[in-house]
Amino acid sequence: MILKLEHINKAYHTGKLDVPVLHDVSLHVEKGEYVAIMGPSGSGKSTLMNIIGCLDRPDSGTYELNGEDVLGKDDNALAKIRLMNLGFVFQNFQLLARETALENVALPLVYAKVPKKERRERAREALEKVGLGDRVAFTPGQLSGGQKQRVAIARAMVNRPGILLADEPTGALDSHSSLQIMELFQQLNEEGVTVIMITHSPDIAAYARRVCDIFDGVISERNGQVNAAQQAERKAEAEAEEALARMRQRSAERLRHGSLTKEEPS
């Protein structure tokens, strides 16, 4: 299992007010999955994404990434995980305006201490892969929204992370550009990249093989599919209920035999 979040709770503390955002969220994702997370604005999608992306820490719960506990790690260790294992795509692209497409894409390689020549080569390759081989020297101001987002995808994937996290990647794009982005995601997923994508749009969510809904900070699986965490939880609940029922039955029997006050070893 590549991602294993269990019983995650998160509240924001603004002044005296506590704003609870995530309630007991559990999410298991297998390697190579393509998950869409849907929900209305303010339901906690980005908050969850930030936790998955090791940018933020929950108030309680556990989180394992590639079988390793994440929450116990310090900031530098988390930076390294983000650098090597996670790729980020944002709604507003988050490209550096003064840098060329190539330099933007090469940025994670700078932090990974890749030598300059190799940086350029790999950044160029990544841009070619998203169909922007002829735009390497363009600055974001010279690119359309869809092109900008493709540069952002190239940047997210240049360090070859196993997981791509996208927070409303098509939120600022027209339908044609959105389609191109979805094709890219599809392709990456087919190559084995685990994709987790937040979206508003059911059309976009339809590209994912699995959809989770989040509403007021509570997550649920769609399409009758039950995710592993919920499965486990339901099983536990069912077992607990069963056990309770058995206990009731036994108590009732004991009452009948008048032995409630005189505990006998059974």
Partner 1 sequence: MLENIRLAFRGIASHKMRSFLTMLGIIIGIASIMSIVSTIKGTNDALRDKLVGSGNNTVKVSLSSGGQELSIYDASSVPQNVQPIADETRQKIADLKTVKQVTLYNKRFVTDSSVFYGDNSVSQFNMYGVDDVYFDTVGYRLKTGRAFLESDYTLFRKVMILDQVASQKLFPDTDPLGKTVEFMGQPFTVIGVMYEPDDYEPDIQTVEDYYNNQDNSNGLFFIPKADWPIVFNYDEPENVIVKATSTDDMTTAGGAAAKILNQTITSTSDDTPKYQAEDLLGIVKSQQKLTAAANMQLIWIAGISLLVGAIGVMNIMLVSVTERTAEIGLKKAIGARQSAILGQFLTEAAVLTTMGGLIGVGVGVLLSYLINRFSGIPVAISIPWSAGAVLISMLIGVISGLLPAQKAARMDPINALRRE
Tokens of 168: 């409303």
What's the alpha-carbon Rg for the chain, to the nearest Å? 23
| β-bridge pairing 60-65 and 86-89 | unpaired
Binding residues for ligand ADP, rule CB under 6 A, total 12
* Residue 108: closest CA among 97, 128, 122, 98: 122
If contact means CB under 5 to 8 A according to the sort of partner, which of Mg ion, ligand ADP, partner 1, none does residue 140 touch? none
CA distances from residue 108 to 72, 126, 166, 196 in whole angstroms, order as listed = 24, 12, 17, 20
Tokens of 177: 């550009």
Scanning 82-90, 125-133, 134-142, 254-262 for contacts with partner 1 by CB under 8 A, the matching segment is: 82-90
| Angle of the 116-129 helix axis to the 101-111 helix axis, nearest 10 | 130
If contact means CB under 5 to 8 A according to the sort of partner, which of partner 1, Mg ion, ligand ADP, none does residue 84 touch? partner 1
CB of 46 to Mg ion, least distance (A): 3
Q: Examine residue 189 and tell whether it contacts Mg ion (CB under 5 A).
A: no
Scanning 34-42, 89-97, 144-152, 226-234 for contacts with ligand ADP by CB under 6 A, the matching segment is: 34-42
Interface pick for ligand ADP out of 25, 27, 38, 39 (rule CB under 6 A):
39
| Angle of the 145-157 helix axis to the 175-190 helix axis, nearest 10 | 20
Scanning 104-112, 131-139, 168-176, 181-189 for contacts with partner 1 by CB under 8 A, the matching segment is: 104-112
Q: Examine residue 21 and tell whether it contacts ligand ADP (CB under 6 A).
A: yes
Q: Determine the Cα–Cα distance for residues 37 and 166; give it in Å rounded to an integer.
A: 10
Tokens 């988050």, residue located:
94
Q: Examine residue 177 and tell whether it contacts ligand ADP (CB under 6 A).
A: no
Interface pick for partner 1 out of 24, 30, 56, 221 (rule CB under 8 A):
56
Q: Given the rule CB under 8 A, which residues bind partner 1?
A: 50, 53, 55-56, 75-76, 79-80, 82-84, 88, 90, 92, 94, 96, 98-99, 107-108, 110-112, 116, 155-156, 159
